[in-house]
């Protein structure tokens, strides 16, 4: 992989600083093989370490859990731990002495690598677009992006998060939103009617309404109903009989309570995927709001999910499930998207890079069907 | 044996306990305190070849057969305690909070032979 040298440099820095690390190496998670192994102590038996790592890979695969979630504590003697860097998983065997310090250091390295990769990808995409797109659309993109929360804001509440955001035409009607409220965070993923300028204008309006209606106290279904009622107010110039005119939006509004580890959500048509302990649950939500003159709470899906550490959740617009494959014949569908989430969620690669790579593989050179947004979070 | 494990667990509050006969490599007893639907120990044992797995993993650091191993998973802990030369006790704890010194103090008093007395 392109950043393997960078990973090696970071790891060399880590092990030179922490002399208590007695052995370390990398596992290539694409084929679950040990790609490098370094011993720094004569007391460590290489054959035992290799056999142990292989057993652990097998154990984690069998238990359908990411290797990086496992830590083996030798009590007063030391520990064996794992950390993911891109497509490689580092393992390190260390004395117990500075367990906390090492893990803090390793965690910060990971953020640096991920941010660098993400920034590079985004810059490359923007450069490509910048060469062909209308300068007015590019300026509008900057305005639209200024209202979007940064991944760092989500990382304050979740172990990991990533955002796949790709409008069809530089700007679009899909967007994501968040508002912090103490131990809880409110966030939304929305798909507004229309693409390009039309969609982007709608998205700015819906984002503004969400900021107004979410008060940090009310249940999310009440706030979502209020948001849709306000959207119905934008009917000037639209035929009164055409209730779906004006600004239309599918929205999933969530509240994650970090203390209770509970997710409350209300949706007007945006589905979600919940991947927990090896089990994938694709949750379809109802979308009745645009067909009724008078809205009621029953028009929206509403549920509370009790979550567990390691659970992964994805919220997304229909642009992803409607995307045609590389032969331009078959749509990805909810099941196809679920398989991608299961695949990257199971092997410890639940991140933007791997999600994007899977979607790119599916789409090939086929034109993008619609605006797309997916927010992925890991508890 | 299930009764002995149940008595033991009244204090340490694990979700599941499995007593392994190491010499014969078979389960000597088990007790499930909480039917959570998640049989973590069964999955754990299904996916490793005990005791060769433990022999390898212990040989990296632990020379003393009495030492214990603690596997931290996203859903909690699998804790492996050497009871004596013949027996291993595997415990599954549901949360990330585990007080190994307290648990060890009680486990040190546990003897699989009690049932026969």
d(CA A35, CA A150): 34
CATH of domain A4-107: 3.30.450.190
d(CA A64, CA A342): 10
Are the beta carbons of A70 and B71 separated by less than 8 Å? yes
Chain A: residue whose CA lies nearest to B38:
A277
Residue extents of the structural domains in chain A: 4-107, 133-378
pLDDT for the residue numbered A34: 87
Q: Say whether pLDDT at A237 is over 70.
A: no
Name which of A355, A353, A167, A194 is nearest A273 in CA terms: A355
Distance from the Cα of A23 to chain B's closest Cα (Å) equals: 10
CA distances from A163 to A309, A352, A374, B7 (A): 20, 7, 6, 50
Mean pLDDT confidence for A111-139: 63
**What is the predicted ipTM?**
0.83
pTM: 0.56
Reported as a single tens digit per residue, the pLDDT across A255-287 is: 999 889 999 999 999 999 999 888 889 998 877
Residue bearing the bigger pLDDT, A110 or A249: A249
Where in chain B are the domains? 2-112
What confidence tens digit (pLDDT) does each residue in A48-83 have?
899 999 888 888 888 877 777 788 888 777 888 888
Instruction: Establish if B61 touches chain A: CB-CB under 8 angstroms.
Output: yes
- Chain B residues in contact with A309 by the CB 8 A cut-off are 74-75, 96
* Per-residue model confidence (pLDDT) at position A4: 67
Least confident piece of the model among A103-112, A139-148, B69-78: A103-112
Residues in B touching A308 (Cβ below 8 Å):
74-75
Q: How confident is the model over A157-180, as a mean pLDDT?
A: 89
Across A106-120, A282-296, B68-82, B100-114, which has the greatest mean pLDDT?
B68-82
* Residues of chain B found within 8 Å of residue A63, distances taken between Cβ atoms: 43-44, 47, 73
Res. A19 pLDDT band, cuts 50 70 90: confident
Architecture (CATH level 2) of domain B2-112: 2-Layer Sandwich (3.30)
Domain A133-378, architecture per CATH: 4-Layer Sandwich (3.60)
Question: Which pLDDT belongs to residue A139?
Answer: 78
- Per the CB < 8 Å rule, is B67 touching A65? no
Average of per-residue pLDDT values in chain A: 82
Minimum distance, in Å, between the CA of residue A110 and any CA atom of chain B? 19
Percent of chain B with pLDDT over 70: 85
Cβ–Cβ below 8 Å for A71 and B69: no
Sheet with A172-181, edge to edge strand ranges: A172-181, A184-195, A249-257, A262-267, A301-306
What mean pLDDT is predicted for residues A322-333?
88
Q: Residue A186: pLDDT band by 50, 70, 90 thresholds?
A: very high
| Rounded CA separation A293/A334 (Å) | 29
CB contact under 8 A, A65 and B74: yes
- Classified as helix, coil or strand, B29 is strand
């Amino acid at each position: 992989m392109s950043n393997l040298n960078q990973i090696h440099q970071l790891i060399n820095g880590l092990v030179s600083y922490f002399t208590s690390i007695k052995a370390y190496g990398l596992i290539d998670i694409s084929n679950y093989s040990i790609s490098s192994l370094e011993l720094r102590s004569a007391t460590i038996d290489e054959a035992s370490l290799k056999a142990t790592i292989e057993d652990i890979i097998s154990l984690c695969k069998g238990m359908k859990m990411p290797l990086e979630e496992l830590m083996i504590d030798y009590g007063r003697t030391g520990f064996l731990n794992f950390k993911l860097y891109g497509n490689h998983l580092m393992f390190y065997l260390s004395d117990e002495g500075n367990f906390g310090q090492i893990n803090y250091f390793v965690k910060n390295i990971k953020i640096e690598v991920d941010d660098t990769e993400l920034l590079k990808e985004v810059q490359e995409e923007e450069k490509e677009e910048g060469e062909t797109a209308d300068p007015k659309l590019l300026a509008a993109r900057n305005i639209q992006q200024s209202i979007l929360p940064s991944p760092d804001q989500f990382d304050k509440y979740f172990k990991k998060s990533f955002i796949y955001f790709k409008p069809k035409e530089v700007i679009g009607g899909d967007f994501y939103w968040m508002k912090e409220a103490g131990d809880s965070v409110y966030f939304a993923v929305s798909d507004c009617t229309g693409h390009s300028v039309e969609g982007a204008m709608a998205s700015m309006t819906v984002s503004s309404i969400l900021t107004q209606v979410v008060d940090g106290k009310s249940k999310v279904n009440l706030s979502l109903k209020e948001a849709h009622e306000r959207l119905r107010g934008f009917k000037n110039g639209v035929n009164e009989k055409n209730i779906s005119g004006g600004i239309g939006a599918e929205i999933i509004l969530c509240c994650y309570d970090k203390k209770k580890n509970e997710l409350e959500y209300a949706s007007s048509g945006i589905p979600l995927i919940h991947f927990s302990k090896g089990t994938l649950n694709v949750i379809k939500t109802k979308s009745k709001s645009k067909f009724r003159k008078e809205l009621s709470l029953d028009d929206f899906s509403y549920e509370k999910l009790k979550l567990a550490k390691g659970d992964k959740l994805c919220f997304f617009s229909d642009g992803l499930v409607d995307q045609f494959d590389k032969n331009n014949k078959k749509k990805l569908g909810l099941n196809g998207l679920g398989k991608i989430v299961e695949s990257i969620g199971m092997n410890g690669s639940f991140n933007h890079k791997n999600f994007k790579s899977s979607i790119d593989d599916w789409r090939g050179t086929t034109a993008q069907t619609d605006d797309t947004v997916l927010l992925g979070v890991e508890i | 044996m299930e009764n002995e494990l149940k008595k033991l667990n009244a204090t340490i509050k694990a979700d599941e306990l499995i007593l392994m006969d190491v010499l014969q490599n078979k389960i000597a007893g088990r007790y499930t305190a909480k039917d959570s639907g998640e049989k973590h120990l069964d999955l754990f044992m299904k996916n490793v070849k005990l005791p060769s797995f433990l022999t390898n993993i212990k040989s990296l650091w632990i020379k003393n057969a009495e030492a214990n191993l603690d596997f931290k998973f996203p859903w909690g802990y699998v804790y492996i305690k050497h009871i004596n030369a013949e027996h291993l006790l595997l415990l599954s704890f549901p949360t990330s909070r585990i007080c190994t010194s307290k648990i060890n103090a009680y486990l040190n008093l546990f003897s699989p032979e009690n049932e026969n007395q």
